[in-house]
Structure 1
Amino acid sequence: MRKTDPYAALRYREFNIFLLVRFALVFAWTMQFVVIEWEVYSLTKDPLSLGIIGLMEVIPAVSLALFAGHVVDQKEKKGLLVKCIVGFSIISLGLFLLTWPMVVSGWSSNIILYSVYFLVFLGGIVRAFLGPTIFSLFALIVPKKVYPNAATWSTSIWQMAAVVGPAVAGFSIHWIGVHWSMCLIFGFTIFALITLTKISTKPIMNPKIGEPVMQSLKEGLKFVFGTKIILGALTLDMIAVLFGGAVALLPIYAQDILKVGPEGFGILRAAPAVGALLMMFTSAYFPLNKNAGMKLLAAVFGFGLCIIVFGLSTWFWLSVIALFFSGLTDGISMIIRQTILQLRTPDHMRGRVASVNSMFVGSSNELGAFESGLTAKLMGTVTAVVFGGAMTLFTVVLTGVISPKFRKLDLQKDLETYENEN
């Protein structure tokens, strides 16, 4: 058997550019979400307001997801991504202006709050198209034989950006304030737009151009729900993210429970980033394809345990350690799930499958934020976090018991097939 090349995908120039674009976008998006969380909680001091932020984004993201998948499969991917980034840039610019005292001087807190919610809602519309477009463009940049390695790097970069962005947000709020943090975010969106010009226009792989919308959506749903391995991976991760969304409550932990302020908030946000970074380098050298099902179940179970420890902790550094391991285990889960999706999805259906993925998993981040905010309001913050972690553990055990096929999932044969192509 051929020796594994941990840098196989990185030997393709456009893939490296793609990673830069993806990192910049995810970094900016997640940083923006945290800055908004901090500002909104500072304005309201109400845990439910944190949940409403997630709800405002998830409503349009879920509502338009299937239609967005259809559009992505019918259109050229690079051009769509340019339009998504332009939309994101406009929203970031709007939030920059909303946090500028010179602009909002004389505005009431409610007007500022509702304006933020409105821009977050528009961001949900953009995100409905952004995820499927990136997922589909990925498959046109590298050959199939390096999909598993490319999926590892792409997912790791996503995971790193998704936790580094919030970590930087915590520190930047402390160092330069909310307003200039939003300026930094806007700068990253412009960087992503300029970098994307280095990727060439790609062909449309769908043989059914002009297919009626309803027929296209029906075919996409039928594929996902008929492919049990994909459905199982999406469902497992969705429940874990939905009930394990403790990070949405970090402003409360930093301000009211651990009492560590913006600087401590930044450290808490950085902890998962360190775990994700470690996982990125480790998984590149030691692929997770063999016994992928059991590894995925173990990773999500470990994630649930970390959330429970974090929820119960009143010691700052124990909380940091728990979040570090939550980032590490979540990184394993993300890499395996993305590898499954890339290997098992036909080229002409990538947009629709990615849109279902965004409904299951991507939007569950925001739904998880809403669930965490709501349960924190009803149960108290600590109880809400522990409840979420316990539900994650229950889901893993249930999945392992009722789905022996998922437990036995092994992607090694898929890897060998693609490595031996051509």
Structure 2
Amino acid sequence: MEEIKSNKPDPYQALRYREFNIFLLLRFAMVFAWSMQFIVIEWEVYSLTKNPLSLGIIGLMEIIPAVSMSLFAGHIVDQREKKSLLVKCILGFSVISFGLFLLTWPKVVGGWSTHIILYSIYALVFFGGIVRSFMGPTIFSLLSLIIPKKVYPNAATWSSSVWQIGAVMGPALAGFSINWIGVHWSMCLVFGFSILSLIALSQISQKPIVNPKMGESIKDSLIEGLTFVFKNKIVLGALSLDMVAVLFGGAVALLPVFAQDILKVGSEGFGILRAAPAVGAFITMLVSAYVPLYENAGKKLLIAIFVFGLSIILFGLSTYFWLSVFALFLSGLADGISVVIRQTILQLKTPDHMRGRVGAVNSIFVGSSNELGAFESGATAKLMGAVTSVVFGGSITLLTVVFTALKSPTFRNLDLKKDMDDHHKLE
């Protein structure tokens, strides 16, 4: 692998490595497909049931296996070759997306009862949670193997930005495609993107297993991974803060309710609402490549999540469509900043041989909290109404940020500049 030397900070440093560009395409395709699938299925399930609690059950069906399997998955990832493991993950997702494609095809399920269709969807989402528990740690570990250490910070910025773009553009396209081509063919697009990611992965070579403790028992391996995370206040603080924001600020899980019953804008308006965070995330990606977020990273992360909480409250209170769009745009902008900073912290602070386990803990704290947040939003919307549920979640996010800022001066004053300088010195 040819290394590029420069005396000045290079915002495109990581992009000068061929396999990293392929990795970005792979990651975008998978995140795009997964997030698009989740929204298409949310729309279909709510259309079948007209019950906001059913949206929460979708999240619950994915989070149960994702959380229960994550630590074991992290151990397996640290012990296995990453590319081969990721191939299996993507194949598993492809089977699930094809199954959902069939379940949304009237020619296949025309004679089925609503309950059978619903339970079949829940079953596939459950199996998807198992696949997801392995995929997150595998991708996190693979990133560190395709670029040199001195490029980690820049690579983390690009990788997390691409993740954020995929995570919001997938749902945005889902909203529009439901209106243009229907649920069934929208699921066909999801399957197509999963195949694209598999093709991209074929262009990345197999990597060596970086683990000095090969053959370590599962118990010892898991204890070591958990001990590292819970003793590292910076890593734990970043994961915990983002988890609360995602868990209680999950207003997007209720977008079908707002689009259909509150703002009354239908599937086309639903698409615009879903696209709004994508625009904010895209701006984050452009800016973060040029404007360093690692200086005063703690303060910037706290401010970003505080703004995210405010935007969620504004969305919940808004009865005007374009004000709601602006609030979601702002949430995407703020969330994008927090994701970039958090991923940079994890890449810089995690030892190579523990990336699978730390990635697994990250999946539990943040990745799975998307689905748990969907369940929380659906359950509270059922109990107190959609608007109150969203405002409540945004308020909890604000209180958490204030508490962290006051009680954790170490995290508040976090600055990653020294870590950046240390990595730039590595050859």
Give the TM-score normalised by structure 2. 0.98
Over the residues paired in the alignment, what is the CA RMSD in angstroms? Answer: 0.7
1:55 aligns with: 60
2:247 aligns with: 242
Q: How many residues align?
A: 422
2:321 aligns with: 316
Specify every segment of 5 or more residues in structure 2 that has no aligned partner in the other structure, as ranges.
1-5
| Equivalent of residue 363 in structure 1, options 349, 363, 368 | 368
Deviation of the 1:6 alpha carbon: 0.4
**Which residue identity is paired with 2:297?**
A
| Equivalent of residue 106 in structure 2, options 74, 81, 101 | 101
Separation (CA, whole Å) in 2 of partners of 1:310 and 1:207: 49
1:69 aligns with: 74
Q: Does residue 292 in structure 1 map to residue 294 in structure 2?
A: no
Which aligned pairs between 1:22-421 and structure 2 lie closer than 5 A?
Answer: 22-421=27-426
Provide the secondary structure at the position in 2 that maps to 1:22: helix
Separation (CA, whole Å) in 2 of partners of 1:202 and 1:208: 17
Specify every segment of 5 or more residues in structure 1 that has no aligned partner in the other structure, as ranges.
none
Runs of 4+ in structure 1 over 3 Å off: none
**Which residue identity is paired with 2:25?**
L
Cα deviation code 1:383-409 (max 9, x no counterpart): 000000000000000000110000110
**Which residue identity is paired with 1:30?**
S
**Which residue identity is paired with 1:267?**
I
Deviation of the 1:185 alpha carbon: 0.4
Separation (CA, whole Å) in 1 of partners of 2:15 and 2:293: 18
**Which residue identity is paired with 2:99?**
G
Separation (CA, whole Å) in 2 of partners of 1:377 and 1:2: 57
Separation (CA, whole Å) in 2 of partners of 1:146 and 1:415: 9
Cα deviation code 1:234-275 (max 9, x no counterpart): 000000100000000000000000000000000000000000
**Which residue identity is paired with 1:403?**
S
**Which residue identity is paired with 1:389?**
G
Separation (CA, whole Å) in 1 of partners of 2:78 and 2:156: 20
Separation (CA, whole Å) in 2 of partners of 1:59 and 1:253: 27
Provide the secondary structure at the position in 1 that maps to 2:94: helix
Separation (CA, whole Å) in 2 of partners of 1:197 and 1:20: 12
Aligned residues with identical type, % of pairs:
75
Separation (CA, whole Å) in 1 of partners of 2:321 and 2:107: 37
Separation (CA, whole Å) in 2 of partners of 1:279 and 1:66: 31
Separation (CA, whole Å) in 2 of partners of 1:366 and 1:394: 22
**Which residue identity is paired with 1:258?**
L
**Which residue identity is paired with 2:386?**
T
Cα deviation code 1:182-205 (max 9, x no counterpart): 001001001110110000000000
Separation (CA, whole Å) in 1 of partners of 2:422 and 2:382: 51
Provide the secondary structure at the position in 2 that maps to 1:285: coil
Provide the secondary structure at the position in 2 that maps to 1:132: helix
**Which residue identity is paired with 1:394?**
L
Separation (CA, whole Å) in 1 of partners of 2:196 and 2:426: 36
Provide the secondary structure at the position in 1 that maps to 2:307: helix
Cα deviation code 1:25-45 (max 9, x no counterpart): 000000000000000000000
Separation (CA, whole Å) in 2 of partners of 1:235 and 1:105: 45
| Equivalent of residue 11 in structure 2, options 1, 6, 22 | 6
Provide the secondary structure at the position in 1 that maps to 2:289: helix
Give the TM-score normalised by structure 1. 1.00
Deviation of the 1:2 alpha carbon: 4.1
Deviation of the 1:3 alpha carbon: 2.3
Cα deviation code 1:306-331 (max 9, x no counterpart): 00000000000000000001000000
**Which residue identity is paired with 2:290?**
Y
Deviation of the 1:420 alpha carbon: 1.2
Separation (CA, whole Å) in 1 of partners of 2:174 and 2:401: 32
Deviation of the 1:368 alpha carbon: 0.3
